[in-house]
Amino acid sequence: MQEYKLFINGEWISSGSGETFDNINPATLEPIGKFHRATEEDVNRAVDSAEDAFDSWSSTPAPQRAMILYRTARILEDKKEELARLMTQEMGKVLSETRGDVQEAIDITYYAAGEGRRLFGETTPSELHDKFCMTVLRPIGVVGMITPWNFPIAIPSWKIMPALVAGNTIVFKPASDTPLLSVELVKILMEAGLPPGVLNLVMGEGSTVGSAIVHNRKLRSISFTGSLETGKWILGETSRNMRRVSLELGGKNPIIVMDDAKIDLAIDGVTWGAFGTTGQRCTAASRVIVHEKILPEFQEKLIERTKKLRLGNGLDDGVDIGPLINESQLKKVAKYVDIGKSEGAKLVHGGKAVKPLPGHFFEPTIFTDVTYDMRIAQEEIFGPVVSLISTPGLDDAIRIANSVEYGLSSSIYTENMRNAFRAIEKIEAGITYVNSSTIGAEVHLPFGGVKSTGNGTREAGTTAIEEFTEIKAVYFDYSGKLQKAQIDLE
Ligand code: NAP
């Protein structure tokens, strides 16, 4: 079986312990490769290498750094199909979705490359004579990145590309379930001309390798995407030594369907939002809050549509839903189905693991008679389970939408403009869609959430660069004398 090593200081090297872990295809359970498991010393070596590379990389003019990203984007385009196929094998989602994942990486890479000529500061008049004021953006330094498995190339690219163009150097740890696409991404960046040491890849478990990143005090900032539980822990650890941290965490995303909605359009959106990526998206639609007048028709149509979905290997034509990522995720989803039943919700479709192939498949599952406070309507399941909640009207629907700890994505289906704008105004979420599902972010808009979905940062969009830069205020006095701000005002 092929072995994949760590990438430190421009070289593929074995881990200090020589240990490896297996990467398994979640549809077939066939092994994909052996990946070197980093030790704490390997992580520290990677950080030192990134630190050594920082001076030269941060001094390279940003438009020149951007040229490497333009080349990277073109190579990603050339390899899109190959990467998508590898991703389906590694992560399980269907080929059309893995193509979308690679496309998102291409989009953010071009977008970040464009920022190489737009790292704008501001200028402003001084309150004093013969003095000029401005701000400039500076890179943060060496940044640590830890990513989840559900978007194996898009999420790393959302972090890596803006960080690179801004002049940072990086130590990156991908999820242990999807290290292969990260290896491929690093290879592409090196082929595009990234200098040694600027990007370092360490692989292995979060509890050891991730923790070593979090605790290395040479890292000026940690950029993390993953679960609320891990995010809370990272926030606690990093706050002790005053480091920047960006957290992109979970969601419990609602779709409101009003009685004036186009029902078939809403069915399309709910089916895609709830069962696309087997429900394993931070923006998955897991709660559908339906106006009571149309609920019976909506429910019947949703069940009919869901029955048509085909589970299987995401590489095969006609397959709509791939497997869950691993056995523990399968058990978690099954546990939530039991919880839903015991809470009194009605299971009207799906609800069990199935075996079209040896892997971790779970039927798309629909609960009705769900109340807003049940655990299945409050906690992130991260699987193909959707809860239908009845509502008498918009105010109540918005209250239900806002009743959870998370605030990532949201959606409303309505033909009434007033309803749409009320939802935009009142739903507590980082993203609101009107007449489309909870998923479908575009890279030139900020991405992130409110409440426990994060700590206020946003990725991509106009905010992509903010996460990876410091602002320096510059006062340039050319008067040739001591001038005291706030004092020498005449
Ligand atoms: P996770 O268990 O928190 O893992 C995420 C990453 O953190 C993985 O690389 C993991 O390594 C690592 N990790 C685990 N424990 C760690 C620790 N103690 N210290 C440092 N790193 C640690 O989350 P997941 O199950 O992979 O991902 C699913 C979650 O991500 C969901 O909650 C989903 O909503 C969220 N998500 C959020 C967004 C967003 O942008 N808001 C996007 C996608 C996903 P291992 O792989 O080795 O365990």
| Structure confidence by residue, pLDDT tens digits, 199-244 | 999 999 999 999 999 999 999 999 999 999 999 999 999 999 899 9
- pLDDT at residue 241, rounded to an integer: 85
At 486 the pLDDT is 94
- Residue 274 predicted with pLDDT over 90: yes
Distance in Å, CA 224 to ligand 1 centroid: 8
Q: How many angstroms separate the alpha carbon of residue 387 from the centre of ligand 1?
A: 24
CB contact set of 331 (below 8 Å; sequence gap of 6+): none
> How does pLDDT run across 276-314, given as a tens digit for each residue?
999 999 999 999 999 999 999 999 999 999 999 999 999
Nearest to 202 by CA among 86, 44, 58, 55: 44
317, HSE (Cβ side, Cα atoms, 13 Å): 0
Nearest to 73 by CA among 111, 99, 101, 116: 111
Determine if the pTM surpasses 0.85.
yes
**Full domain range(s) for residue 312:** 253-434
Residue 425 lies inside a defined structural domain of this protein:
yes
Domain co-membership, 245 together with 258: no
Question: What is the pLDDT at residue 462?
Answer: 86
Nearest CA to ligand 1 atom 43: 282
68-97: string of b/e by CB count within 10 Å (b at 16+)? bbebbbebbeebbeebbbbbbbbbbbbbeb
Give the residue from 202, 210, 205, 251 showing the smallest Cα distance to 233: 210
Residue of 282, 327, 445 with the most ligand 1 atoms within 8 Å of its CB, for mutation: 282
In a domain, 445, yes or no: no
Is 266 found in the same domain as 238?
no
Residues 29-49 pLDDT 10s: 999 999 999 999 999 999 999
* CATH code of 377's domain: 3.40.309.10
Domain closes at, from 434, 464, 485: 434
Q: What confidence tens digit (pLDDT) does each residue in 110-136 have?
A: 999 999 999 999 999 999 999 999 999
| Dist. CA 211 → ligand 1 center (Å) | 12
Q: What is the pLDDT of residues 141-190, one digit of tens each?
A: 999 999 999 999 999 999 999 999 999 999 999 999 999 999 999 999 99
Same domain, 127 and 110: yes
Do residue 407 and residue 429 come from a single domain?
A: yes
Q: Are residues 211 and 88 in the same domain?
A: yes
pLDDT digits (tens, 9 = 90+) for 407-451: 999 999 999 999 999 999 999 999 999 999 999 999 999 999 999
- Looking at residue 230, its pLDDT comes to 98
The CB density around residue 471, as the number of other CB atoms within 10 Å, is: 11
Together in a domain, 54 and 123: yes
Q: What band does 489 get if pLDDT is binned at 50, 70 and 90? A: confident
Q: Within a domain: residue 14?
A: yes
Question: For residue 489, is it within any domain?
Answer: no
Alpha carbon nearest to ligand 1 atom 15, residue: 206
Ligand 1 centroid – CA 174 distance (Å) = 9
| Rounded distance between C-alpha atoms, residue 196 and residue 403, angstroms | 48
| 281 occurs within a structural domain | yes
Asked, for residue 30, whether it belongs to a domain, the answer is yes
Residues 320 and 292 in one domain: yes
Q: Would the pLDDT of 354 be above 90?
A: yes
146 with 164, same domain: the answer is yes
382: nearest Cα among 257, 227, 268: 227
242 shares its domain with 282 = no
Is position 121 within any domain?
Answer: yes
User: How far is 486 from 233, CA to CA, in rounded Å?
Assistant: 43
Q: CA-based Rg of the chain, rounded to a whole angstrom?
A: 24
Tell me the CATH number at 195: 3.40.605.10
Angle, vertex CA 463, rays to CA 87 and CA 77, nearest 5: 35
Q: If you average pLDDT over every residue of the chain, what do you get? A: 97
Sign of the torsion formed by the C-alpha atoms of 256, 262, 267 and 268: negative
Examine the domain organization and report whether 424 and 465 are in the same domain. Answer: no
State the DSSP code for 177. T
pLDDT in tens, 45-57: 999 999 999 999 9
226 CA distance to ligand 1 centroid (A)? Answer: 3
Residue to mutate, 35, 149, 230, 451, ligand 1, most ligand atoms under 8 Å from C-beta = 230
- For the chain, the domain total comes to 2
Residues forming beta bridges with residue 125, ordered by sequence position: 132
Q: Characterise 471 by phi-psi region: left (phi > 0), alpha (psi -120 to 50), beta (else).
A: beta
Find where tokens 């990143």 sit: 213
User: Between the CA of residue 285 and those of 262, 340, 377, 412, what are the distances in Å?
Assistant: 18, 17, 11, 11
Is residue 487 in some structural domain?
no
The answer to whether 438 and 422 are in contact (CB under 8 A) is no
Residues in contact with ligand 1 by the CB-under-6-Å rule are: 146-150, 155, 173, 175-177, 205-207, 210-211, 214, 225-227, 230, 233, 248-251, 282, 380, 382, 408, 453
What is the pLDDT at residue 118? 96
Q: Do residue 35 and residue 85 come from a single domain?
A: yes
Pocket test for ligand 1, best of 146, 205, 328 (most atoms within 8 A of CB): 146
Tell whether the model's pLDDT for residue 490 goes beyond 80.
no
> Where in the sequence numbering do the catalytic residues fall?
248, 282
Same domain, 7 and 115: yes
